Structure 1
């Protein structure tokens, strides 16, 4: 899944903000409880507790060096900042 796919989905509230030196994407994934995100090369991997147990979602990032974190079910990805 790409960052563009997130912002086009009806079931996920997402915003993308572009700045002179980078871009920030914030997406409310609607996950409660334990959720974590790791960045490996150009992929953000989100792991959370779903209805049927642990679930994993991978997002392709536009470039290496992006930072990602998740707080209260909101995934934030910073690129180039």
Structure 2
């Protein structure tokens, strides 16, 4: 799944912003219990719990360094373009 694809989903509130040399994805994971995100190469792996159990989402990132973090159930991924 790409950053663009996740912003087009109806079940996830997400927005993608382009700031010239940086792209930022912000997604509300809802009432996520335990949640984590790791960036491995050009992929962000998000693991979180919701009412359906544990879910894992793998996001393909554009080339460039990326940082990702989750705060209060909000996933933020920053990618340098």
TM-score by structure 2 length? Answer: 0.85
Return the offset for 1:79. 0.8
State yes or no: 1:10 paired with 2:10: yes
* Whole-Å separation in 2 of the counterparts to 1:71 and 1:79: 17
Return the offset for 1:64. 4.0
TM-aligned CA distance change 1:13 to 1:51, over 3 Å: closer
TM-aligned CA distance change 1:31 to 1:40, over 3 Å: farther
State yes or no: 1:63 paired with 2:67: no
TM-aligned CA distance change 1:17 to 1:46, over 3 Å: same
Aligned length: 81
TM-aligned CA distance change 1:78 to 1:9, over 3 Å: same
Return the offset for 1:43. 0.6
Aligned-residue Cα RMSD (Å) equals: 1.7
TM-score by structure 1 length? Answer: 0.85
How do 1:1-81 residues align onto structure 2 when only pairs under 5 Å count?
Answer: 1-51=1-51, 53-80=53-80
Question: Could you list the runs of 5+ residues in structure 1 that have no partner in the other structure?
Answer: none
TM-aligned CA distance change 1:54 to 1:13, over 3 Å: closer
